[in-house]
Structure 1
Amino acid sequence: MSIHLNFPENVILEDNLVLLRPLQESDVENLLEVSCDDSSSTWKYALTRGDNKENLAYYIQLALKARENKTEFPFIVFDKKSGKYAGSTRFYDINLAFKTLQLGYTWYGKDFRGTGLNKHCKFLLLQFAFETLGMERVEFRADNNNERSIAAMKSIGCKVEGVLRNHMPTFGSEVRRDSIILSILRSEWFDEVKDNLKAKL
């Protein structure tokens, strides 16, 4: 049985480098430039793409509908150093009964990759998930061919659990993808992951 999570509408997570606030419909304008600047790379492994204004508007509408249904909570990511919006990320498959959720749908414009921004975002999101929401497990998934994403997840402390073979369709193709599953447990967050990640910020 799944109990939906009632997030406060004004969840804002921030530190000295990044601010995450709830995604809203008008953010099409804030995200259009970064979503299109390297679209073939940004959206290569995505099932729903924001590679032009129409697609990005649809992408955001789907995210907001899921938030209405209280199964997802999408954020827009603001980079304080550059004063620009960098991308988006979200909690999804939220299950309060089991104290689990997934963290994903994460993408950034090309200028924000490799800057340390992702680690700051993940620290804030994981801290919120484990310390405010009381989650026992945060799961991550990726296309098993997406080496950059998998490396990023491992670098923040995720442990690989296995691969779901032939798991889901891919965009515009009959080829199905294998999905790699990674996770962080509550005990791991407090024992080592939090301190290790904090040291990398």
Structure 2
Amino acid sequence: MNIDFPQNTILEDETVLLRPLQESDVENLLEISINEPETWKYSLVQANGKENLEKYIQIALKARENGTEFPFIVFDKKSGKYAGSTRFYDINLAFKTLQLGYTWYGKDFRGTGLNKRCKFLLLQFAFETLGTERVEFRADNNNQRSIAAMKSIGCTVEGVMRNHMPTLGSAIRRDSIILSILRNEWFDNVKENLKNKL
């Protein structure tokens, strides 16, 4: 059973807007896609170059149609530019769980506080609107920047799945680190701590 997101779900505050990803967003994300190859270093689905970006978006939109994912494009209100993308995935209403990931931003938006603002809006929506009990995060265990970002928003490390999955275009398999935030943690302290960092 899947969560039925309203197709017009928009999350925003005074500095950032997350709206549903659309096919036409290829143009909005193309500059990052083409000019910043380091963005895809740890990604399991590459979106480098126009053709790969088109495929990336098509896959995301198909998953939204199937009700298992809900992808957003991220718009930075301060600069007036599109910053990247993020999504809910592995949505399971029966278990009241979902994962938050496929998150990437152009280099101009990293370290600006944009990610924390996005995560606050997404977590607030997940726990307070959808009523989820657990939000899970995963990353390549070598992706220290991503892991540090997840810890800084209040995620708890649960462990590492060794030799978990192949890395893109390589015979090498990655270890995946698992982190999460639980509903009670959100209301007890994570929400307030994260809000104070915005």
Q: Same fold (TM over 0.5)?
A: yes
State the distance in 2 between where 1:50 and 1:28 align: 10
Instruction: Say whether 1:98 aligns with 2:132.
Output: no
Say whether the 8 Å CA contact 1:37–1:110 is kept in structure 2. Answer: no
How far 1:35 moved relative to its partner?
A: 2.2
State the distance in 1 between where 2:104 and 2:34 align: 12
Instruction: Say whether 1:74 aligns with 2:67.
Output: no
Say whether the 8 Å CA contact 2:30–2:50 is kept in structure 1. Answer: yes
Per mean C-alpha deviation after superposition, the further-off stretch among 42-51 and 178-187 is 42-51
Instruction: Say whether 1:115 aligns with 2:117.
Output: no
Say whether the 8 Å CA contact 2:155–2:180 is kept in structure 1. Answer: yes
Gaps of 5+ in 1: none
- Code of the residue aligned with 1:55 in structure 2: it is N
State the distance in 2 between where 1:54 and 1:103 align: 25
State the distance in 2 between where 1:68 and 1:159 align: 31
Say whether the 8 Å CA contact 2:33–2:50 is kept in structure 1. Answer: no
TM-score (norm: length of structure 1): 0.98
- Code of the residue aligned with 2:40 in structure 1: it is W
Tell me, what secondary structure is at the counterpart of 2:14? coil
Say whether the 8 Å CA contact 1:77–1:86 is kept in structure 2. Answer: yes
1:137 is aligned to 134
Which of the residues 179, 188, 191 maps onto 1:191? 188
Instruction: Say whether 1:58 aligns with 2:62.
Output: no
Say whether the 8 Å CA contact 2:120–2:195 is kept in structure 1. Answer: yes
Say whether the 8 Å CA contact 1:37–1:109 is kept in structure 2. Answer: no
> Per-residue CA shift, 1:89-145, capped at 9, x if unaligned?
000000000000000000000000000000000000000000000000000000000
State the distance in 1 between where 2:131 and 2:18 align: 19
Say whether the 8 Å CA contact 1:35–1:87 is kept in structure 2. Answer: no
> Per-residue CA shift, 1:36-56, capped at 9, x if unaligned?
2321x2000111111100000
Say whether the 8 Å CA contact 2:16–2:76 is kept in structure 1. Answer: yes
- Code of the residue aligned with 1:8 in structure 2: it is P
2:10 is aligned to 12
Say whether the 8 Å CA contact 2:141–2:176 is kept in structure 1. Answer: yes
> Per-residue CA shift, 1:1-53, capped at 9, x if unaligned?
xx1111000000000110000000000000011222321x2000111111100
How far 1:87 moved relative to its partner?
A: 0.1
How far 1:63 moved relative to its partner?
A: 0.2
Q: Percent identity among equivalent residues?
A: 82
- The number of equivalent residue pairs is 198
- Code of the residue aligned with 2:138 in structure 1: it is R
